[in-house]
Chain A
Amino acid sequence: MISNEIIAIPVAEYHDRMQQLRNEGYDFLESLTGMDWGDSLGVVCHLESTTTGAHIVVKTATEDREHPELPTVSDIWKAAELNEREVYGFFGVRFVGHPDMRRLFLREDWVGYPLRKDYDASPEVNPVRMTNEETLDSTPTYQLNADGKLEEKVNVIFEDGEYVINIGPQHPATHGVLRFRVSLEGEIIKKLDVNCGYIHRGIEKMCESLTYPQTLALTDRLDYLAAMHNRHALCMCIEQAAGIEVSDRVQYIRTIMDELQRIDSHLLFFSCLCMDLGALTAFFYGFRDREKILDIFEGTCGGRLILNYNTIGGVQADIAPDFVRKVKEFIAYLRPQLKEYHDVFTNNVIARQRLTGVGVLSREDAISFGATGATGRAAGWACDVRKRMPYGVYDRVDFREVLFTEGDCFARYMVRMEEIEESMRIIEQLIDNIPEGPYQTKTKPVIRIPEGSYYAAVEASRGEFGVFIESRGDKSPYRMKFRSTGLPLVSAIGTIARGAKIADLIAIGGTLDYVVPDIDR
């Protein structure tokens, strides 16, 4: 478990101290959270060392609410690039030295900063604007002069003569409403600019006015292919903070459900990747088998996609009487199917050529961007939260963390396919040994969390999903932040795609396997 102690750093020393921490080995910026503490605005950074596994949490704050400015750390960790843009859009904190100070999620003509506590949410201030948004080719950036004064400069993203192609937000290969602008030199991608926010639903702000049990309802809808994981993370964070013990039975059920969800998500990944690359039959195969998991979910949770299963202190309902039998049948069924998948798609010459050696992400970049999950493991970074910070009953089961070193599309694909097998192994070890016990711990009707800040993470389908809660002892959180699994992937796509062909962007996007509502939150 991560220590919840936060080290405060004054603004003046912030950049130097962060550089120092980076030199000490804290090379993974887990999450960067914007904060409004009422009298001051600032950021909270969760850092981790990939060599020692040590964690450290630091914060810095500025009291100037009119023109808040903080030094950027995007030159130290690449993950900070998009995260700081997010903080700028939500809190209005300008990062000095950041090359690109546009809003990440909101329109440029948005009035106010929504996650500030004094934000005016009335629809008159921000009506639904039906005018088309202007696309900017240059961005403002703020630099410090030699005499210590702030100077606004213009950073050009796309020059006048560049050949820029727009992909999305409505495009079948972007897996949702994500928008890329790609500058091309012939077929080769020179530069890629990501434009997010088309499905930004303001979940974090909504959570601040909901009670803890109510916030659970929204997490399933973040990354709907990791609904179980998301909710598991939030429940775990609240349980740890409020000191609620959950029974062994619940831990077993949650772990099994998590793994079923992972298989579900990876099957969907397989289907969609194949479809994107033109193999439509494989799409039907994947969906056919995925339906069997949904049946199992439906029997116990009642839902297919949005499951609402985990609750604070347990799960919503006990497992269905035929749950164990069905899961065993499913595993027996899926093994030969997986072999068929490999016969049909993996060993196909065209698939190999389109995936092997395409879209390489190095291990250093993966860590710097914080690209966890299969993307990081394909690059050789052992970033599995189940091994790093075991939760549930992962410390009691035997499984292999699938690691590749190539870092290309094929490695990412193979990591996921092999993870299906590992997930099945985990389930097999647990399914016969679910201990007896209550499926729900009795909790108080109103759950309050002691003052402080808390972070918990799980391994979701596509990386580390973290929940950061800052509580002031009320029945609703003061600030709730979700570490998106997809945002680091999207921030890395510019680096991955540079030098690739435009057609490879589809394979790269397919193997990164991001889910857009999870990026935008």
Chain B
Amino acid sequence: MEMMKKPQIKSMKYEDFKDNETLEKMAAELRAGGTNVVVGCLDEMIEWGRSNSLWPLTFATSCCGIEFMAVGAARYDFARFGFEVTRASPRQADIIMVAGTITHKMAPVLRRLYDQMADPKYVVAVGGCAVSGGPFRKSYHVVQGVDTILPVDVYIPGCPPRPEALLYGMMQLQRKVKVERFLGGVNRKEPKPDYLKEK
């Protein structure tokens, strides 16, 4: 990323932007004058918003998908955490919940879905099959864990995971999102890991 030009601001020096004391003093002055001011880090606010509006892709291959639907329905209701808007198009989704077995035939399709999603994007491996192949690990047609084809952020074990486990896993992802620096790095393209590079 190129450095931006130093902006010219009349009322304060550029260095003061990064100086907490000056900022606090300014805020105190403004408050004394009756203006409501909150000083904070913009990153933190963006991350707070981002972590509470993670939109999953409507993607499920097998049994875990039913539990995924159950989490979306009335009793477990993941809308409470901001996951309610499931998107049918990968271009509008933030996370892909790989719910179910990934087979050899499905692997390139899944990879394409992942590539079509916009950065920043996250992958959650839901259930034994997506984590490691699960009960079908010995099958000739099953991928041995989705992490061999995609970078996985959170693993949720279980066959299928209980809705509570799904919620817990999603909250772990929220924690992960909350400590990222949206303006300072995550939104920039990271170098691709070797296994994702075209051969």
CB-CB nearest in chain A for B111: A130
- B-facing mask of A121-153, CB < 8 A → 1, else 0? 100001011111100000000000000000000
Q: Which of B70-125 contact A (CB under 8 A)?
A: 70, 73-75, 88, 90, 100-101, 103-109, 111-113
Say yes or no for B169: interface residue by CB 8 A criterion. Answer: no
Query: Are B66's CB and A121's CB within 8 A?
Result: no
Query: Are A198's CB and B142's CB within 8 A?
Result: no
Q: How far is the CA of A217 from the CA of B137 in the complex (A)?
A: 13
Say yes or no for B37: interface residue by CB 8 A criterion. Answer: no
With contact pairs A201-B139, A288-B73 given, residues A306 and B159 touching in the complex (Cβ less than 8 Å): yes
What chain B residues lie within 8 Å of A206 (beta carbons)? Answer: 136, 138-139
Say yes or no for A97: interface residue by CB 8 A criterion. Answer: no
CB distance from B199 to the nearest CB of A (A): 8
Say yes or no for A170: interface residue by CB 8 A criterion. Answer: yes
Query: Are B59's CB and A170's CB within 8 A?
Result: yes
What chain B residues lie within 8 Å of A224 (beta carbons)? Answer: 62-63, 66
CB distance from A129 to the nearest CB of B (A): 7
Q: How far is the CA of A304 from the CA of B108 in the complex (A)?
A: 31
What chain B residues lie within 8 Å of A516 (beta carbons)? Answer: 61-62
Query: Are B141's CB and A106's CB within 8 A?
Result: yes
Say yes or no for A499: interface residue by CB 8 A criterion. Answer: no
Say yes or no for A176: interface residue by CB 8 A criterion. Answer: yes
Q: How far is the CA of A516 from the CA of B136 in the complex (A)?
A: 16
Query: Are B62's CB and A268's CB within 8 A?
Result: no
Query: Are B160's CB and A305's CB within 8 A?
Result: yes
CB distance from B150 to the nearest CB of A (A): 11
CB-CB nearest in chain B for A294: B70
Say yes or no for A177: interface residue by CB 8 A criterion. Answer: yes
What chain B residues lie within 8 Å of A205 (beta carbons)? Answer: 139-140
Say yes or no for A225: interface residue by CB 8 A criterion. Answer: yes
What chain A residues lie within 8 Å of B70 (beta carbons)? Answer: 287, 290-291, 294, 304
Q: How far is the CA of A392 from the CA of B177 in the complex (A)?
A: 52
CB distance from B195 to the nearest CB of A (A): 10
Q: How far is the CA of A200 from the CA of B104 in the complex (A)?
A: 9
Query: Are B139's CB and A169's CB within 8 A?
Result: no
What chain A residues lie within 8 Å of B180 (beta carbons)? Answer: none
Task: Please count how many residues in chain A sit with their CB below 8 Å of the partner chain's CB atoms.
Answer: 48
Query: Are A199's CB and B103's CB within 8 A?
Result: yes
Query: Are A169's CB and B106's CB within 8 A?
Result: yes
Query: Are A177's CB and B106's CB within 8 A?
Result: yes
Q: How far is the CA of A391 from the CA of B168 in the complex (A)?
A: 42
Query: Are B74's CB and A221's CB within 8 A?
Result: no
CB distance from B92 to the nearest CB of A (A): 13
Query: Are A304's CB and B74's CB within 8 A?
Result: no
Query: Are B105's CB and A198's CB within 8 A?
Result: yes
Query: Are A287's CB and B73's CB within 8 A?
Result: yes
State which of B67, B74, B100, B136 has its C-beta within 8 Å of the C-beta of A288.
B74
Query: Are A218's CB and B61's CB within 8 A?
Result: no
Query: Are A218's CB and B106's CB within 8 A?
Result: no
Query: Are A199's CB and B108's CB within 8 A?
Result: no
Say yes or no for A284: interface residue by CB 8 A criterion. Answer: yes
Say yes or no for B54: interface residue by CB 8 A criterion. Answer: no
CB distance from A222 to the nearest CB of B (A): 10
Say yes or no for B143: interface residue by CB 8 A criterion. Answer: yes
With contact pairs A129-B104, A221-B63 given, residues A306 and B142 touching in the complex (Cβ less than 8 Å): no
State which of B58, B108, B109, B142 has its C-beta within 8 Å of the C-beta of A201.
B142
Query: Are B105's CB and A202's CB within 8 A?
Result: no
Say yes or no for B45: interface residue by CB 8 A criterion. Answer: no
Q: How far is the CA of A406 from the CA of B172 in the complex (A)?
A: 51
Say yes or no for A17: interface residue by CB 8 A criterion. Answer: no
CB-CB nearest in chain A for B60: A176
State which of A119, A287, A306 has its C-beta within 8 Å of the C-beta of B75.
A287
Say yes or no for A435: interface residue by CB 8 A criterion. Answer: no
Say yes or no for A477: interface residue by CB 8 A criterion. Answer: no
Query: Are B61's CB and A198's CB within 8 A?
Result: yes
Q: How far is the CA of A2 from the CA of B101 in the complex (A)?
A: 34
- A-facing mask of B143-164, CB < 8 A → 1, else 0? 1000011000000000110100
Say yes or no for A380: interface residue by CB 8 A criterion. Answer: no
Query: Are A128's CB and B149's CB within 8 A?
Result: yes
Say yes or no for B27: interface residue by CB 8 A criterion. Answer: no
Q: How far is the CA of A212 from the CA of B105 in the complex (A)?
A: 29
CB distance from A198 to the nearest CB of B (A): 5
Q: Which of A473-503 contact B (CB under 8 A)?
A: none
State which of B58, B75, B105 has its C-beta within 8 Å of the C-beta of A197.
B105
Q: How far is the CA of A225 from the CA of B67 in the complex (A)?
A: 11
Say yes or no for A25: interface residue by CB 8 A criterion. Answer: no
Query: Are B106's CB and A225's CB within 8 A?
Result: no
Say yes or no for A390: interface residue by CB 8 A criterion. Answer: no
Highest count of chain B CB atoms <10 Å: which of A130, A516, A517:
A130
Query: Are A128's CB and B106's CB within 8 A?
Result: no
CB distance from A259 to the nearest CB of B (A): 19
What chain A residues lie within 8 Å of B142 (beta carbons)? Answer: 201-202
Say yes or no for B135: interface residue by CB 8 A criterion. Answer: yes
Query: Are A199's CB and B136's CB within 8 A?
Result: no
What chain B residues lie within 8 Å of A114 (beta carbons)? Answer: 140-141
Q: How far is the CA of A200 from the CA of B59 in the complex (A)?
A: 17
What chain A residues lie within 8 Å of B100 (beta carbons)? Answer: 199, 517
Q: How far is the CA of A205 from the CA of B141 in the complex (A)?
A: 10
Say yes or no for A283: interface residue by CB 8 A criterion. Answer: yes
CB-CB nearest in chain A for B65: A176
Say yes or no for A171: interface residue by CB 8 A criterion. Answer: yes
- Other than A177-B61, A209-B138, A517-B100, give 7 A-B pairs with Cβ distance below 8 A: A107-B105, A198-B61, A199-B100, A200-B103, A205-B140, A217-B135, A284-B73
- 16 pairs from A and B in contact (CB 8 Å cutoff): A105-B141, A114-B140, A128-B107, A130-B108, A132-B108, A176-B62, A198-B61, A198-B103, A199-B62, A201-B103, A201-B139, A205-B140, A206-B139, A221-B62, A287-B75, A305-B63
The 6 A-B residue pairs whose C-beta atoms are closest, nearest first, are A287-B73, A202-B139, A224-B63, A288-B74, A517-B62, A202-B141
**Residues of A bordering B, CB below 8 Å:** 105-107, 114, 119, 121, 126, 128-133, 169-172, 176-177, 197-203, 205-206, 209, 217-218, 221, 224-225, 268, 271, 283-284, 287-288, 290-291, 294, 304-306, 516-517
